[in-house]
Structure 1
Amino acid sequence: MENVLVVGATGTTGKKIVQLLKASQYFEPVAMVRNNQQQTEFEAHQVKTVMGDLEQDVSHTAKNMDKVIFAAGSGGNNVKAIDQDGAIKMIDAASKWNINKFVMLSSMGADQPEKSDKLKDYLKAKHNADEYLKSSPLNYTIVRPGSLTNSVGDGKIKLSKSLNEQGEISRDNVAQTLVRTLHDDAPNKETFEIISGDTLIGKALENLK
């Protein structure tokens, strides 16, 4: 079993990731939490935790971890501190502890943030974090979904390095994709976009290779 640190474990998508990892025979989730209440909630469900706040020092959080999923988000508040600087801190922590893979939940549009009106600051922050990860010594996968919905996932997506179209995707399917990319046979050092589609997640990842 590999220990997977879930950054953003208390968020809507993060909680789904933790549940998937908990059900997996390969991975053990470790939820990064900011306070005792969050810690108690996860530990009540037999999920390990580590204390860490992206606006503080997080260099200790990746100790004894094998892989990291970064699914934290500012929700539009404090974009630079969380989506950019927080992600960069976690990449540094992962590098320090020589983790095997860093999976980044990014966003469609992060490749060209200047083209967005409303989300320019957010996408710029995601872009900077993605570029920092690419230049790091880490093995990584960067996943850029379209607009997130809360509809029930069907395990099917449309995936390409560049989709050239807008679209939505359920948080369920995003969480499944992120967890699938943890596997050793999943694409490494790749960046790709996903929206709802007709191809099973595993097959879509195979096709990318």
Structure 2
Amino acid sequence: MNLKRLWQTLNYFEVIPLISILKRPTTNYQLQTMGLILVTGATGGVGKRVVETLLKANYRVRVLVRDGQKAREMFSDRVEIWEGDLTIAETLNPKLLQDVSAVICCTGVKVRPVEGDTPTREKYYQGIKFYLPEVVDSPEMVEYKGMKNLMQVIKPHLRSDERLLFDFTNPNQDVKEFWGAVDDVVMGGVSESQIRLVRDRAIFSGNVSTANNGGFASVRTRNFSTPLDLSAYKGISLRLQGDGKRYKFIMRCEGKWDGIAYCYSFDTIYNFSQTIDIPFSELIPVVRAKTVPEAGVFDSSKIYSLQLMLSKFEYDGALNPRFAPGIFGLEVETIKAYGKQINTPQFILISSAGVTRPGRPGIDLEKEPPAVRLNDQLGGILTWKLAGEEVVRNSGLLYTIIRPCALTEKPGDKGLIFDQGDNIKGQVSREAIAQLCLQVLNNPEAVNKTFEVKETEEIAPKLDYSLGNLKID
């Protein structure tokens, strides 16, 4: 028995508690809270706050911006940056939506004071003094035609039913250090394997041997610090390229080193890319390749580890029909959960309060905010925002449309008031709108609802984001 390799394996996976505490690895790989979020208009006043809020909540973020250099200066390498213009359909690549699970649209026509503004636009943002505004772009192009162009790209490609767990096409060092080899050396064998990050994929490879009654090689994750809850999904999807051999994918719903494992065997095609879907309902409970039916069905609400294995054994003494000792290699691009029943918003639009008021009978323009009074002078900005809302409502996607009252740079610590019917007036912080977007992402109560929002006068230690009392559009 190779005692050195056995010691390294047991220590790496913290099987020996005292030694593991003394030499605990520094890596702390964090699985993403959910899939990739696309933010449009990410360098604007609300957009940049939405991005920062998502990053703090451990989301992966992709941004669509006109000015890539400005986005790089603002976000550095913390987000994926795509350049494009909603008003020019040809600049919107369908690959923009790859792995995206939800879109937050903060895009809007740029409005600026005609004159008298400070360099930082502080007075304009704070509403301390009103300056006559003007639009920079065409509201029709940005608010309406731009929304139509965006929706044409989003609808066929948005995937909210998946959750990306490991993306080996865009890895970091923590990913490699979170996976380690568990070979038959733990049983006295001499097989050897490893996982390497090469050519935008993880390669599980090695040399499997039947010497010393061995015959398996595998790579396994350390236990997640918090068990992974995938109860909303149907199974695991692997995107990979194999070598013609038959492998096993293994998960555990307990934190024991050598407890019950749930297995699924799958065949690969030599040098051919495949997507392998593994339903949770088809996982087989085993202990060292012996089935244990009394263990019951797999509990996908508490997943502790994942594992890939090549073994000469199938189950209960049967042999793997495609096993052969020697060199092997399995190339993995992604590991995802699939089959989520979608019940949360796929598309969140930041619109504006007042969009239905221009031309509404009985409106006293003297008592309305500047955007309503000056709608015609501003190219019909609110009229075209409303038209953009209709594009979203008619898209067939699960959506939420947020209509903030006058936006400010104040801290987002005030209570919030939600209403429908487009009648309320007031102010609301951009910070509060960013936090609201985060809450809406995972809130089934927000689906297919349009609402206005403003702040109260009082500071609220904990904001109430309940939307259950609002009507569906």
What TM-score comes out, normalization by structure 1 length? Answer: 0.89
Moved more, 30-39 or 124-133: 30-39
Q: Does 1:74 align with 2:330?
A: no
- Tell me which residue corresponds to 1:183: 442
Flag the structure with more relative contact order, 1 or 2, with Cα contacts below 8 A and sequence separation at least 6: 1
CA distance in 2, matches of 1:15, 1:188: 24
- Tell me which residue corresponds to 1:19: 52
Q: Deviations over 1:131-172 (max 9, x none)?
A: 111111111000001111111111521001236321111111
1:184 deviates by 4.2
- Tell me which residue corresponds to 1:53: 85
CA distance in 2, matches of 1:99, 1:194: 29
Q: Which sections of structure 2, spanning at least 5 residues, go unmatched?
A: 1-33, 111-134, 161-345, 361-371
- Tell me which residue corresponds to 1:92: 152
Partner of residue 389 from structure 2, selected from 126, 130, 138: 130
Q: Does 1:103 align with 2:342?
A: no
The answer on whether the counterparts of 2:64 and 2:81 sit within 8 Å (CA) in structure 1 is yes
- Tell me which residue corresponds to 1:7: 40
1:187 deviates by 1.2
Q: Does 1:195 align with 2:450?
A: no
Q: Does 1:34 align with 2:66?
A: yes
1:45 deviates by 4.5
1:90 deviates by 1.4
CA distance in 1, matches of 2:146, 2:51: 20
- Tell me which residue corresponds to 2:373: 117
CA distance in 1, matches of 2:159, 2:386: 22
1:83 deviates by 1.5
SS of alignment partner, residue 66 of structure 1: strand
The answer on whether the counterparts of 2:351 and 2:389 sit within 8 Å (CA) in structure 1 is yes
CA distance in 1, matches of 2:40, 2:64: 5
Change (3 A) 1:172 1:39: closer
- Tell me which residue corresponds to 2:233: none
The answer on whether the counterparts of 1:99 and 1:138 sit within 8 Å (CA) in structure 2 is no
Which has more strand, going by share of residues?
Answer: 2
Q: Does 1:205 align with 2:240?
A: no
Change (3 A) 1:91 1:28: same
The answer on whether the counterparts of 1:65 and 1:99 sit within 8 Å (CA) in structure 2 is yes
How many residues align? The count is 208
The answer on whether the counterparts of 1:113 and 1:127 sit within 8 Å (CA) in structure 2 is no
- Tell me which residue corresponds to 2:411: 152
Moved more, 139-148 or 98-107: 98-107
Change (3 A) 1:167 1:93: same
What is the root-mean-square deviation in Å for CA atoms of aligned residues? 2.2
1:36 deviates by 3.8
1:66 deviates by 0.8
Instruction: Give the ranges of 4+ consecutive aligned residues of structure 1 lying more than 6 Å apart after TM superposition.
Output: none
Moved more, 175-184 or 141-150: 175-184
CA distance in 1, matches of 2:383, 2:104: 20
The answer on whether the counterparts of 1:149 and 1:168 sit within 8 Å (CA) in structure 2 is yes
The answer on whether the counterparts of 1:155 and 1:176 sit within 8 Å (CA) in structure 2 is no
1:35 deviates by 3.6
SS of alignment partner, residue 64 of structure 2: strand
SS of alignment partner, residue 68 of structure 1: strand
Letter in 2 for 1:109: G
The answer on whether the counterparts of 1:42 and 1:48 sit within 8 Å (CA) in structure 2 is no
Change (3 A) 1:158 1:43: closer
Q: Does 1:63 align with 2:98?
A: yes
Q: Does 1:44 align with 2:76?
A: yes
Change (3 A) 1:99 1:147: farther
- Tell me which residue corresponds to 2:428: 169
1:84 deviates by 1.5
Letter in 2 for 1:143: I
Q: Deviations over 1:117-140 (max 9, x none)?
A: 312401111100101111111110
What TM-score comes out, normalization by structure 2 length? Answer: 0.41
CA distance in 1, matches of 2:106, 2:65: 13
Moved more, 71-80 or 145-154: 71-80
1:113 deviates by 3.4
The answer on whether the counterparts of 2:414 and 2:455 sit within 8 Å (CA) in structure 1 is no
SS of alignment partner, residue 49 of structure 1: strand
SS of alignment partner, residue 126 of structure 1: helix
CA distance in 2, matches of 1:89, 1:202: 34
